[in-house]
Amino acid sequence: MRSALAVHGLKLSVAKIFANWGWLLLALTYASTFIVILILAYTGNIPEFIQKIPSYDKIGHVVLYSLANYLGHRVLKRFKVKGFGWALPLWPLLFALFWLGAELAQLIPILRVRTTHLEAETPNISRFLHF
């Protein structure tokens, strides 16, 4: 059984990821924190002191998504997927697909827990394009 992702002759093995254990541990710690924050946000339980910060949702999106992209990119050793003349970083690409799926899920009435505002999501789109 092969434990490598091969794209155009490049390999990203599980062993290489675990060799980067410091970044992996930091990313796993952040991921668990990120999940708790998502649960708090989607259930409307953001602490009051955070809600007092002007535009806390926009600032929160920028900080949380930037950290997630940076840590994921470091854990995967800046692995890039090449194709059609482009070399896109794998983790930010996967994270952008996750983000897009979460936003599209808001269009399904039964899954809607909040409204989608393009104004709030513009920093997320530009951050992905910048990476």
103 vs 81, which has greater pLDDT?
81
The pLDDT assigned to 18 comes to 66
Domain range list for the chain:
4-130
pLDDT bucket at 3, cuts 50 / 70 / 90: very low
Asked if residue 107 has pLDDT above 50, the reply is: yes
pLDDT bucket at 114, cuts 50 / 70 / 90: low
pLDDT bucket at 111, cuts 50 / 70 / 90: low
The pLDDT assigned to 123 comes to 57
Half-sphere exposure of 90 (CA within 13 A, CB side): 16
- Number of residues written out for the chain: 131
Q: What are phi and psi of 20, to 5 degrees?
A: -95, 45
Give the tens place of pLDDT for each residue, 5-40.
Answer: 545 445 566 666 667 788 888 888 998 998 998 888
Give the tens place of pLDDT for each residue, 65-101.
Answer: 889 888 888 888 888 888 888 888 888 889 889 888 8
Q: How far is CA 8 from CA 4, 77, 83, 90, 121, in A?
A: 13, 17, 8, 13, 33
